[in-house]
């Protein structure tokens, strides 16, 4: 049901969106969409419609993406996927547009509007590739002599042409293996270029070159200014080191960086514990697990502190182990793991802390 949610009673996201739209607050509207991601489909559909009316494609994409992940009935997502493809194409994200088009055609192969959009995107990509290729040599020759603002303008124009060529190679020209060289040329001009990084990641993943992808992710993390973005790239690198490259020591270093800057990142703490256990660094595992225990739900906290205490015991830190067991008993005085731990420590060391 994607009807407007105006008859569904009070809804915080809807109310926030109304206020943001009325005041022209685009950031506020985007926050309202994010707030509604797990809400009723009707609310998300209404938000997508309002975003379209106010000319806010990013918010519309966010709302429709949340809808698309939850539609399960056959054929229900064709129209949503087609709209997402249209928006992606308008933003110059041809690979994403192709993904949405494939989903739409998978649900309804005979849908005329979707077939028309697919044809238009293919024609545009082919034409864009031809034009861009013809212009690149002249722009690169001018760039070699340019300085200052002229150089910045030429770099921007060249990056645009490179990306048009990449889009065509990955799409209608069906020659994705040649896109890597163009992505490298784009990165030579703009080392922080996300589009080119993602192209390289896709092709390196197909080749199974996980070490190169991890290196790319680490490099992008170092250049990222936003903490959340930096954390996301570090998570990618950490997961690759841990699960694909069998390099838990490197994963441990990465997750330590995340936790140092984002102490509340429980996923990073859990991964840090696993990496530390893999290399036998019991002290690091215990310290990270204590952070998990401190933020665990109330009904799981005693068990979490008990595990922390046991890890500290194995690490040889009796005082920290005792403190962890006492924290568990403060939550649940009958917790058997913590009670046994306290008895065992006192018997072994002969003292209370």
Most confident range (mean pLDDT) of 10-19, 122-131, 177-186, 303-312 is 303-312
Closest CA to 259 of 225, 295, 224: 295
Of 16-30, 183-197, 276-290, 327-341, least confident by mean pLDDT is 183-197
Q: What's the whole-number mean pLDDT along residues 148-163?
A: 89
Report pLDDT digits (tens) over 292-310. 999 998 999 999 999 999 9
pLDDT on residue 163:
80
pLDDT value at residue 12:
76
Residue 266: pLDDT above 80?
Answer: yes
Query: Does the pLDDT of residue 72 top 80, yes or no?
Result: no
Cα atoms in the 13 Å half-sphere on the side-chain side of 177 = 1
- Tell me what pLDDT residue 188 has: 84
pLDDT at 254 over 90: yes
Q: Measure the N-to-C terminal CA separation of the chain; round to a whole number of Å.
A: 61
Which two structure tokens, joined as six digits, stand for 193?
């270029």
- Nearest Cα residue to 304 out of 266, 278, 275: 266
pLDDT digits (tens, 9 = 90+) for 9-61: 336 778 888 888 888 899 999 998 988 887 888 888 889 999 999 899 999 99
């Amino acid at each position: 049901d994607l009807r407007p949610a105006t008859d569904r009673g009070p809804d915080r996201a809807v109310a926030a969106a109304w206020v943001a739209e009325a005041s022209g607050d685009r950031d506020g509207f985007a926050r309202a969409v994010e707030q509604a991601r797990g809400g009723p489909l009707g609310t998300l559909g209404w938000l997508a419609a309002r975003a379209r009316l106010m000319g806010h494609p990013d918010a519309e994409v966010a709302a429709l993406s949340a809808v698309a992940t939850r539609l399960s009935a056959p054929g229900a997502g064709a129209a949503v996927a087609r709209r997402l493809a249209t928006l992606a194409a308008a933003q110059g994200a041809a690979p994403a547009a192709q993904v949405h088009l494939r989903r739409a055609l998978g649900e309804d192969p005979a849908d005329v509007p979707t077939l028309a959009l697919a044809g238009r995107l293919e024609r545009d990509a082919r034409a864009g590739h031809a034009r861009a290729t013809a212009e690149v040599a002249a722009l690169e020759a001018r760039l070699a002599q340019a300085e200052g603002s002229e150089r910045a303008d030429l770099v921007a124009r060249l990056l645009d042409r490179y990306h048009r060529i990449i889009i065509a190679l990955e799409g209608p020209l069906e020659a994705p293996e040649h896109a890597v060289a163009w992505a490298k040329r784009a990165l030579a001009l703009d080392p922080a270029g996300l589009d080119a990084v993602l192209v390289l990641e896709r092709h390196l993943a197909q080749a199974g070159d996980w070490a190169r992808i991890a290196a790319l992710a680490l490099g992008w993390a170092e250049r990222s200014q936003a903490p959340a973005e930096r954390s996301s790239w570090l998570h990618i690198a950490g997961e690759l080191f841990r699960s694909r490259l069998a390099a838990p020591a490197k994963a441990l270093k990465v997750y330590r960086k995340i936790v140092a800057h984002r102490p509340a990142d429980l996923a990073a703490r859990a991964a840090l514990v696993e990496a530390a256990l893999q290399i036998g660094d019991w002290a690091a595992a215990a310290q990270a697990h204590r952070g998990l225990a401190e933020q665990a739900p109330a009904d799981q906290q005693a068990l979490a502190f008990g595990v922390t205490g046991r890890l500290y015991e194995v690490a040889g830190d009796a005082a920290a182990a005792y403190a962890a067991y006492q924290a568990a008993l403060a939550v649940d005085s009958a917790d058997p793991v913590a009670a046994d731990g306290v008895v065992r420590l006192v018997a072994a060391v002969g003292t209370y802390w």
